[in-house]
Each structure stands twice: as C-alpha cells, then as structure tokens.
Structure 1
C-alpha cells in the first residue's frame, strides 16, 4: 500500500489566502517500479495500472475530493473541476468551491497554479510550449472570470533554461505573438536551435494579463533525476501532479 508522507511532496510557498490549498508531488512515495519509480500518477505512460491506481488513491487521502484528472493534449480547453466532466480532454481546470480539485500532470512541461486574493476561485494550467504559445494561460484566466491584477501565480517544476533546446518554429511562434519573447531565447548548439526559458515566457504572458505576482520557479526537472520525472531526460517515465483546491 502506498502512503505519501509530507516529505514526498512540496507545498507551494506563496501568499495565497488561507482557504487556498496547493500541493506539488515529486517522484517519491509511490509503488511504481522502474522506470516509473515511484509516485507515477500518469495512467497513459505504460505503467502498471494497479500501481497507478494505488498511487492515485494514496494522493486522494491528502485531498478533500478526487482530482479532475485531465486528458492533456497541449491545447487551451479549460474545464470546471467541480462539475461532472464526461470528456476530460483539456489542459486546464478551475474550481469555485470545495467540490473541485484541479490537477495538472507534467514531466517537463510547466504547471501553473493560480488563485485570486479573495480565495474564491483557483485554476491550474498545463503550460508546455504548445499550450503556452496557443494561449492556455489566457484561456484559464478568462474562465476564472476575475481581473488579472487580483490573481497570483505559482510556477511548478519544469525543464530549465539550460536544458530546453528548441527549433526556430518554437521561437517564431512566441515572437509572432509578442516580439518581447525574443528575450527568452538564446543561441543553441547549432544553427536554428535556441535555448528557451519557458518560465520567462510564462511570466511575460501572465504580465500581459495583469498578473505580476508570480512565485515558485527555478526547479529544473531535467537536472534533478532524484526528485522529478523528465520526459526529455528519460523518455519512458512517470508524471508528477500539481494540484490546487479550495478548502473551508
């Protein structure tokens, strides 16, 4: 039986209202065997379904309700985690009451958690480069339906700026939206390649929405194999979860 201890998780350090709760899992505390060792929460990566179920059940013991597990497709659809969702295909979710627990799974992509000052709405977004460029943060804030300057964000573990090498297509996609995005790229190891800072790209998008209070960041999934899953590093690997909810 899997039992997740406090040391197996990271609690976001941000000045969120008291009723806003958030949790970041690591790869420790579960029952999955290598290469998914050990707290793999992804049911789509080739792991033993019984192990994934045990890991999810252990996580659920720390939560007020079962999370809305999304089928993530690098898009911009946002769902309400507090409502029944027959089709969970989406890359972000929000919650306005204690019935919903928002959850994002990642293994290099950037998870972004959001809450407002009043503690009346929370959100979580899967901001890989495709979703980020496509507007998943913008769509999440629209769904939250509160002014951007009343929101704060927390950035979870993601591929670091010294590990994320991309092609011209990625750089061009961001610069086409905002020329200032050029500052998030520097020359890579070959012509047409660039090192990308996905945290800076997210901060630029958030700032454009009026969200300037951004916390977290600096946790590179690729460089810390003991703590984080990384698809780019290992290819066959598990998934962490970034979760946020409201609790009375």
Structure 2
C-alpha cells in the first residue's frame, strides 16, 4: 500500500478506511502517479489502471461519484456513477469513495458499525450543509455517529475572500472563530477543519477525529491550489466482509 494512510480513530470493529496518496500508480506528470480522477485530462487508461490497483489492493468495490460541490447524498453503488457529494452504505465490501485535492474528505460511521458514509466538503459544501446531510443519511441520532476528517488544505495555506466568511457566519455566527485575518487587507485564512467540527457539533455530532493535514504543503497529496493541473486522491470507508 506504499504510503497510503490508515485513519487513526477508534472506529468499531469491522469498519475499514484508507486514504491514498500520489504513490503507487502509473500516471505521468503532472498527474504522477496514483491519480484516481477521470475528469482532470489524465490518460484514461492510466486512470483505469490506477483504479484497478486501488480495488485489488484494498479488496473492495469503490462507489465513485461525480462530485459537484452540492448537497446530494446517495446510496453507494459501484455499478454506476451518481452526481452527488456524499454516499452511504450498509453493505459489506462496498466502499464509500470520494476524491479530493484540497477539499475536506469526511468519513462517517455509526457507533454500532452498521452503516458508513463519506462526504466531499469544500467550503461551498460545508457552508451549504453537506456534513449535516451526510450525518442524517446514517439514520441514527447524531450522538451515535463518529467522524474522521482527512487530508485537506490547512488554514495557513487557505486564503479566502470576505464572501466566504460571510457565507458561514450569516447563518452560524459562531463559525467566525474559524477565520483569521490574512496579511492581505480584507481577506481571511479559513480553517476547514474547524468549520467542519463546528458545523458537526452544532448538528449534535461531537465524536470527531482527524485533521491537522495541509495538502498544499504536503507533497504526498494532490493540491489544486498548488497546481490546478493535478490529480485526485481518494478517501474510502467500508464495512469489512469478514
């Protein structure tokens, strides 16, 4: 598995999760090497090979999504690509799978291990409520949900305009603490991890782990802000077949 990440969180027995890195694939620069995105102008055969490597390495059936920075949550289905930004499943061996390159990947599971979900949360998705919608898809009270926040752009690298800050604080004033003034007047440095935790907590989900990454400065990961012509890595969660 090269240097792929195994999330460090107290998930129930039988819940498996993984985050890929750039290592282990066949894509050429600037997509080198394990690009899993089929929408970034990489060689389609290379992407197909990379996805096959992922599938065989983890022994799962990934359910890919067409992510649109929206609020759609769908049941994970490996046989088709659905336009949505989160998926859930209760079927062992099917992996809820999202691709990112700076946006926040969030992996969910119920405390009884009966259902899992994964969400793609850029700032637009966070502001719109994609994490809350994903939590609701699990069909249990929020206090029975556990979340792990994966590699995303860090606050020190994520400068945004005042409209981004306003999109959050207009409805959730307490999220103002996730923004600090930038060196550039009128702009702010946004903390996606803090925003995720704050919005989840307001929804009743407080059992949250992960964070602390910065895809912009960490060469293991693709970063759109570092280089717009780039690949995508994947975050997956599934229920083990065993």
Counterpart contact for 1:82–1:99, Cα < 8 Å: no
Name the counterpart of 1:188.
Answer: 182
Instruction: Pick one of 123, 134, 156 that aligns with 2:128.
Output: 134
* Structure 1: gaps of 5 or more residues: 1-5
8 A Cα contact 2:64 2:78, kept in partner: no
Question: 1:7: how far off?
Answer: 2.8
Match of 2:17 among 13, 17, 22: 22
Contact 2:215–2:223 (CA<8 Å) still a contact in 1?
yes
> Structure 1 CA distance, aligned partners of 2:58 and 2:76?
13
The alignment of Structure 1 onto Structure 2 pairs a total of residues equal to: 241
CA RMSD of aligned residues (A): 1.3
1:168 paired with 2:162, answer yes
Partner of 2:41: 46
Residue number in structure 2 paired with 1:216: 210
Give the drift of 1:66. Answer: 2.1
Q: Does 1:229 align with 2:191?
A: no
In structure 1, distance between residues paired with 2:76 and 2:129: 20
> Which residue among 197, 215, 224 is the counterpart of 1:203?
197
Distance, in Å, in 2 between the alignment partners of 1:221 and 1:84 is: 30
The equivalent of 2:104 in structure 1 is 110
Secondary structure, counterpart of 1:231 in structure 2? coil
Structure 1 residues 52, 199: closer, same or farther in 2, change over 3 A? same
Cα distance in structure 2, aligned partners of 1:100 and 1:94: 9
What stretches of structure 1 move > 3 A for 4+ residues in a row? 82-85
Query: Partners in 1 of 2:227 and 2:152 — Cα distance?
Result: 14
Match among 106, 121, 138 for residue 115 of structure 2: 121
Higher alpha-carbon deviation: 57-66 or 145-154: 57-66
Unpaired stretches in structure 2, ≥5 consecutive residues: none
Q: TM-score normalised to the size of structure 1?
A: 0.94
Taking the aligned partners of 2:93 and 2:218, their CA distance within structure 1 comes to 34
Once the two structures are TM-superposed, the CA of residue 134 in structure 1 deviates from its matched residue by 0.6
CA deviation digits over 1:78-119, x for unaligned, max 9? Answer: 01114754x510000001121521001000000000111100
Q: Distance in 2 between matches of 1:124 and 1:23?
A: 11
